[in-house]
Structure 1
């Protein structure tokens, strides 16, 4: 693979592009643009990509991360909800990474509504993105469900979200996001990201989350996810009481829990996704 690199965006280039587009970053769309080339290089390296990978990038914005990805992968499918940003991105790639611009395709869409058929071939193998923080969890879960070819990913999210997504059963941060992500993948925190690398500077800390797809436990995903939602809606209660609504009564919940080999007095945060799958299988869908 050629060693030619893109010309990455620094603070001056990011502000110049934003001014050209009349862009005022909005909190609604979670727009905080990375303007530090070293951070981009770090993310690309940490993602562990190779020349056969096809990356789906959600929320490419002005193209900071896109320019870092293009030289090292087979293709980048960028999904951008803002039509102005989506319209400018191919030209940015042509100007700053001319040797690789043909590897980029841009889809103007809400990532939460994207279906596999909306993206061109080849199918994505990795998710690498600076995700809008207000939709980070549902975007990751949606894309893992919708794109079976996604084998791994590295996403930048709010630090607390990274902690929740990577949390193990029994830990304080473990909850619905961690249990659902565990259905699809193993996850780990991959380091902090300083606030100063963004424009505008966010008022929250950021972190990297890495994940690798794994085989899910046996069972029906939708049934398991409904059970996870029900269990954590009453997370302070023992499961015998907390799952009374799901099972029909506390006694029925206790019977299902015992059948699944789970202590009826346990709490939701102690159960692994395998436990939830086993428990869900005791109830008719």
Structure 2
């Protein structure tokens, strides 16, 4: 990659660049005995311009507390530390978690006090050290991207802005509008928490090893959930049922949820939704209306 700002060995005034370049990543991995595998979703970003672009696109501010999931060897972590007040990284891998604080101290010692590490599975995290996080910025492992994203948005309502790098196909699903052929469960559930949009594409050659798929950036800006008397759990139960059998009408798809096709139709009519409609046509607000109209005895 052509790079005037970061992947070389020197920066301003001849000082070593704090960010990690391709040689740095390979040296770190070799020293740690880390062999990235596609099965584990380990694709390390080796281009400093890319991580700075991610931070810029995320709109990270100097007063932000940013949570990062899956920091790996620290490429994005260092770029976040350049911009944010605090960075909290959540890493499940024992070797990577043990090494990351040393990498931060070595390459950015003046910022090291602003860094915290949580060695855990992100799906199990329900509290973080320091101030409540205001932003989530992460290169998410592709096989767990959606559940991790939804978990973090749910557990940490203080997160106002999110920018995640995910597989391009997942990015398209998350940002899809009703009526789009890839609109589905991730689209609806993400929209419960935030306004979601595609925020760019990332080429394969900025990773080591290069993945078999393209990557995309997704921006999520927190908004109030739909006004409804139904709980989130009740709404999500309708969403899951509606998309479990995509080709069926809602009358048929929601029969199990409601207890019978007749009860499903009754709930749909009460919600002002055509029983012949399909889930991919409905907004999150419309799913909430259906949840409100659930027949007596239906539990989410």
TM over 0.5: yes
SS in 2 for 1:87: helix
Separation in structure 1 between the aligned mates of residue 130 and residue 55 of structure 2, nearest angstrom? 22
Give the alignment's TM-score, normalised by structure 1: 0.96
Counterpart of 2:193 in structure 1 is: 184
Stretches of 4+ moved more than 3 A in 1?
A: 3-6
Aligned residues: 281
1:265 aligns with 2:292: no
| Match for residue 140 of structure 1 among 138, 149, 159 | 149
Q: Indicate conservation of the 8 Å contact 1:184/1:214, yes or no.
A: yes
2: CA distance, partners of 1:197 / 1:136: 19
**Aligned 8 A contact 2:185 2:239 in 1:** yes
Distance in 2, Cα, partners of 1:6 & 1:143: 32
Match of 2:261 among 250, 255, 258: 250
| 1:96-148 superposed Cα distances (whole Å, 9 cap, x missing partner) | 111111111001100111112xx102111111001000000000000000111
In the alignment, which residue of structure 2 is the partner of 1:54? 65
Counterpart position of 2:96: 85
Q: Do the aligned residues in 1 keep the contact of 2:134 with 2:160 (CA within 8 Å)? A: yes
- 1:158 and 1:39, CA in 2 relative to 1: closer, same or farther beyond 3 A? same
Partner of 1:43: 54
Contact 1:6/1:97 (8 A) holds in 2: no
Determine whether 1:196 maps to 2:205.
yes
Structure 2 length normalisation: TM-score? 0.91
Deviation at 1:83, TM superposition (A): 1.4
Q: SS at 1:192's partner residue?
A: strand
Give the corresponding residue for 2:86: 75
Alpha carbons of structure 1 residues 88 and 188: separation in structure 2 relative to 1, 3 Å: same
2:160 is equivalent to residue 151 of structure 1 = yes
Task: Indicate yes or no: 2:156 matched with 1:170.
Answer: no
Distance 2:71 2:34 in 1: 14
- 1:222 maps to 233
Say yes or no: does 1:236 pair with 2:247: yes
Unpaired runs of 5+ in structure 2?
1-11
Q: CA deviation at 1:87?
A: 1.0
CA contact (8 A) 2:38 2:211 kept: no
Contact map agreement 1:243 1:253 (CA 8 A) in 2: yes
Q: What is the CA–CA distance in structure 2 between the aligned matches of 1:7 and 1:187, rounded to whole Å?
A: 32
Q: Per-residue deviation at 1:5?
A: 10
Q: Is the 8 A contact 2:132 2:158 kept in 1?
A: yes
- Structure 1 vs Structure 2 CA RMSD: 1.4
Give the distance between the partners of 2:167 and 2:193, measured in 1 at CA. 21
- Which secondary structure state, in structure 1, belongs to the residue aligned with residue 187 of structure 2? helix
In 2 relative to 1, CA 258–5 (structure 1 residues): closer, same or farther, beyond 3 Å?
A: farther
Distance 1:67 1:55 in 2: 12
For 1:5 and 1:220, the matched residues in 2 are separated by 52
Long gaps (5+) in structure 1: none
CA drift of 1:204 comes to 0.7
**Cα drift, residue 49 of structure 1:** 1.1
